[in-house]
A and B are shown apart, each in its own frame.
Chain A
């Protein structure tokens, strides 16, 4: 966009009368006012990747909620005679080694993956927030808490989740707890870092000098400023939790095999992948699309909420 006075005379974009500019040829071209698009169309125009993410995620949530109405059958119904059918009119995505309809299993699987993703994001962010606030504000405990977090962080997350799952019974709740626990140290570190910088801010100092009580300082001045980075982090955790769930189920340490989660469907197709690759293909596409949508959303949120962080990563 050039604002320099141009000597060439171009007709304005909107049909203004010729005489209007012929009279003053030395004036710069006046651009018509930018058309501000409102609503979702405008949002999609400004943040295309975020809009794509939102649309895909909304579609997945729709599928999860209305799975019974989308031409599905009982996802656990066995039909040994019709096993390992290729995708066709009867089985849109084919059938697995037990004759279960993969289309129905994939659609119902959206429920498990979304629940696991959102629950882990919520639990890990909340727990991490509390630990991070305490660690950043109560200096006596900081060293101790951070050594524990360092220790937990030095166990690779998937391995930690796998070890936790080895202790407990396979259930969706336990999978959620195991993945959340593995994610907590990273969130605590993030929140602690933000709290430590905020503590030194003049307005916090002013609040303390004015006699604001500690809980009030935390609630009114510290907490609101941790929300933006925490939201971004929670989005990424949501995506990675879905991937970890599928990995846990895939290696047989996740949700119970009877539950149609995307990881379980792929685990069922593991031994047959060379002859019936579609058993893995369809849940893989759904899982990857969902995680992709969440990551696009996370990138968009990060750029919108924290321009400084956007430059760094």
Chain B
């Protein structure tokens, strides 16, 4: 068990190295000269050259990459070109709203998606199944910001049930924090719910046709214990896999959702960084998000072995 976890952790190293290399070279080949941008329109060529030297932008690729990797490993993501603050500090300031949003969305989505997927499989072919699957296709087809505006318009502007926009730190109380996150997490979670519900239904359909389900039914077990104890347990691996993979959707969607609901998180920071072409900041954000994504999928792989003791690598 520990040997497996250790090997799995080691196997993420080449992936992370590639991500680092990719992110670094992306911005290395970027057109547009950050030194010229910082110097401004009035600067003379000598000034630009001086700034370039001070930023270390004139040295060869591999030298800069090795140095940069070393810095990252020691926890230093560099300095933002625009604000002059360390990237880690900027990310640290903005991380709470994003993490809150993603965790609430994740929990909400799983709590909604798995039961409706199970029900759809149970009632396969009926109108309930069609309704749920229709909803899933709809969830795939509507962009996250459209859902966001729609929800905000109906539940905040027209009905006035929930706050329109903004974010309250969790330190100021659990309800104010949660209240602000309800609409954003439903908007962000819709695609995710659709994805998980579809996989849940498909896997459950397969499991429900197995012999041991017939046996459970034959010995007189009720519908609910069969569905939720026998079947769902055996359908867990693909569902957990998709929950892990789907985190990529959450990360991408968070950038947009935060902008719709004016949540001061990493997503807003990303947009600002892109507009200002703040390369170290963009590098830092992409790296942090990718690291989180790789980590989530690492945890998912470890969960496999707990869900299904037959899985050994």
* A291 proximal to B (CB < 8 A): yes
* B216 proximal to A (CB < 8 A): no
* A166 proximal to B (CB < 8 A): yes
Q: Are A156 and B290 in contact (CB under 8 A)?
A: yes
Q: Are A288 and B202 in contact (CB under 8 A)?
A: no
* B206 proximal to A (CB < 8 A): yes
Q: Which of B15, B19, B142, B253 contacts A288 (CB 8 A)?
A: B142
Q: Please measure, in the bound complex, the distance between the C-alpha atom of A291 and the C-alpha atom of B143, giving whole angstroms.
A: 9
Q: A residues within 8 A CB of B274? A: 162, 165-166, 251-253
Q: A residues within 8 A CB of B22? A: 151-152, 155
Q: Please measure, in the bound complex, the distance between the C-alpha atom of A313 and the C-alpha atom of B117, giving whole angstroms.
A: 12
Q: Are B293 and A277 in contact (CB under 8 A)?
A: no
Contacts of A49-103 to chain B: CB distance below 8 A: none
Binds B, one of A2-10, A11-19, A39-47, A242-250: A242-250
* A299 proximal to B (CB < 8 A): yes
Q: Which of B30, B144, B255 contacts A159 (CB 8 A)?
A: B255
The residue of chain A having its C-beta at the shortest distance from the C-beta of B294 within the complex is A154
- B44: shortest Cβ distance to chain A, in Å? 26
- A193: shortest Cβ distance to chain B, in Å? 15
Binds A, one of B57-65, B68-76, B145-153: B145-153
Q: Are A247 and B145 in contact (CB under 8 A)?
A: yes
Helix, strand, loop or mixed for chain A's interface? helix
Q: Please measure, in the bound complex, the distance between the C-alpha atom of A169 and the C-alpha atom of B277, giving whole angstroms.
A: 12
- B160: shortest Cβ distance to chain A, in Å? 13
* A237 proximal to B (CB < 8 A): no
Q: Are B18 and A251 in contact (CB under 8 A)?
A: no
Q: Are A292 and B137 in contact (CB under 8 A)?
A: yes
* A287 proximal to B (CB < 8 A): yes
Q: Please measure, in the bound complex, the distance between the C-alpha atom of A243 and the C-alpha atom of B157, giving whole angstroms.
A: 26
Q: Are A311 and B205 in contact (CB under 8 A)?
A: yes
* Contact A148 to B271, CB < 8 A, known contacts A154-B290, A156-B251, A311-B206: no
Q: B residues within 8 A CB of A154? A: 15-16, 19, 290, 293-294, 297
Q: Please measure, in the bound complex, the distance between the C-alpha atom of A22 and the C-alpha atom of B28, giving whole angstroms.
A: 89
* A312 proximal to B (CB < 8 A): yes
- B293: shortest Cβ distance to chain A, in Å? 6
Q: Are B251 and A148 in contact (CB under 8 A)?
A: no
Interface string of A136-150 (1 = CB under 8 A from B): 000000000001101
* A198 proximal to B (CB < 8 A): no
* A158 proximal to B (CB < 8 A): yes
Q: Please measure, in the bound complex, the distance between the C-alpha atom of A309 and the C-alpha atom of B246, giving whole angstroms.
A: 20
Q: A residues within 8 A CB of B290? A: 154-156, 159
Q: Which of A147, A155, A158 contacts B253 (CB 8 A)?
A: A158
* Contact A287 to B143, CB < 8 A, known contacts A277-B149, A292-B138: yes
- A125: shortest Cβ distance to chain B, in Å? 19
Q: Please measure, in the bound complex, the distance between the C-alpha atom of A147 and the C-alpha atom of B153, giving whole angstroms.
A: 45
The residue of chain B having its C-beta at the shortest distance from the C-beta of A283 within the complex is B146
Given A151-B19, A154-B297, A159-B270, 19 further pairs, Cβ under 8 A: A148-B18, A151-B21, A156-B251, A156-B290, A159-B285, A165-B274, A167-B29, A167-B30, A169-B31, A239-B141, A250-B145, A253-B274, A266-B145, A274-B153, A274-B157, A274-B164, A280-B146, A287-B146, A299-B137
- CB-based closest 7 A-B pairs: A158-B252, A151-B18, A292-B141, A156-B248, A291-B141, A284-B146, A156-B251
Q: Can you list 29 pairs linking A and B with CB atoms under 8 Å apart?
A: A150-B15, A151-B21, A152-B18, A155-B22, A155-B289, A156-B248, A158-B251, A158-B253, A159-B270, A159-B285, A163-B27, A167-B31, A169-B31, A246-B143, A247-B143, A247-B144, A247-B145, A250-B145, A250-B259, A253-B271, A266-B146, A273-B152, A274-B157, A280-B149, A287-B146, A288-B146, A292-B137, A292-B138, A295-B137
